[in-house]
Amino acid sequence: MRPSILRRLLRRVASTAALALVAATLSTVGAAQPAAAAGGLQQVTNFGSNPGNLQMYEYAPADLPANAPLVIALHGCTQTANAYYTNSGWPKYADLWGFAVVFPQTTSANNALSCFGWFDPAEDSRGKGEAASIVQMVEHAKQQYGSDGRRVYVTGLSAGGGMTADLLAAYPDVFAGGSVASGLPAQCATSQAAASGCQTGPQQLTPAQWGDKVRAAYPGYSGPWPRVAIWQGTSDYTVYPANATALRDQWTNVWGIGQTPSSTDTLPGNTTRSIYNDASGKPAVETYSVSGMGHGLAVSPGSGTAQCGTTAAYFLSAICSTYYTGVFWGLDQDTPGGGGQLPAPSGLRVTGVTTNSASLSWNAVPDAASYALYRNGTKVASPTSTTYTDTGLGAGTTYTYTVAAADGSGTPGATSPQVTATTTGGIPAQCYTATNYAHVTAGRAHTTGGYVYANGSNENMGLYNVFVTHTLKESPAGYFVIADTGCTA
């Protein structure tokens, strides 16, 4: 028997506890249905040598123009390409914004629970196994559709999320961006035995150590690095929230930026978005923490532009993660077939603040009939001029703003980069130094899965015990960030 065949047979009968990201909830899932070409989803064969023994499915809108983006979407354990196509919402935005989507599929021939091998160096490394098969799919689709090689993105759920992180690390020259949903940091585990440990709590590594795992995946690569979105439910007990923190640490370190967000805002579905800008002020890493959500991909069924997907096993009603991921990648901007949106206004700036107001201005956009101004992600005004003063704000409070140009029908186009305004007055920032146990007891932090997270920012403070000490800075009231230096209690 050939070694490669023997290895696959051994993997097939290996312990499901080590193999499955969803082992704890398998009792709620029926047998995986075989993927089928339905509703536009088509199987592609002979896309390459396929060393990872994967299947390729794809969807593209009719009359897709050349130089459109390309998205790779990876399903989770026990799922299929068809399930991800049906429930994730990606086909909706492929039609709306104009791009093709490839849905790779693994099967029980590779893994007893149809999990991508995010924990196996023979499958998730550059030039090897499943990772190489997925890149072959990328090259096939680029030739088939004439896709823009500078705008290729990858996203995945659970085991697909773990493989997404590995692909971003191994092939930063292929993928311009990624989105990891309920997944694992790149190279968190390199064996089946270590996989379960990563799920419940990854190693306590420094950001530099996490970043080194990415840099080691493609030695000598010097950038540019992919822009990464990280989605996580706070009540996920299959892939614990500590993985999202490790992912944040990993990719901010790769980008050479700190772990304190440039801005934080609130989105629908009890979702907190934290944005980490690069040196030019453009978001490089974004984290989306969905309060109370368990293990799965966040969807929001409905017909609105920012709504998508259908609920099913591991597709959970909260917020359309696919929409916000696509916007983060810029799929809604300057995209062939994307509907002729007005471009984002440039030059958004804060021109003044008082105790209860913030004044802003921006550059005019040709053909704009009005503008949509958003505060903390919520539309608050529709001025016709390029200036606006937002009133009724709280003293000593930080707000984030974006603006979009709207056409004659009131339809907004692409949104500008965010700016931050902090009103004057209010209570000065307070600092508290204490053990993690004391911070939780005092109501400044909370626990999840044995780890402590600062209230408001949700920054990971480490283990819940009396041995770890941090200084927390409170500003505004009830919002705490780690401030171990430069903040006196």
Catalytic positions, please? 158
Rg of the chain in Å (alpha carbons): 23
- Measured CA to CA, the distance from residue 77 to residue 467 in angstroms comes to 37
d(CA 261, CA 278): 11
Task: Compute the distance between CA of residue 1 and CA of residue 12 in angstroms, rounded to an integer.
Answer: 16
Calpha distance 373→395 (Å, rounded): 20
Other C-beta atoms lying within 10 Å of the C-beta of residue 202: 23
Intra-chain end-to-end CA distance of the chain, in Å: 67
Residue 167 near residue 131 (C-beta atoms within 8 A):
yes
Secondary-structure breakdown of the chain: helix, strand, coil percentages, each rounded to the nearest 5? 25, 30, 50
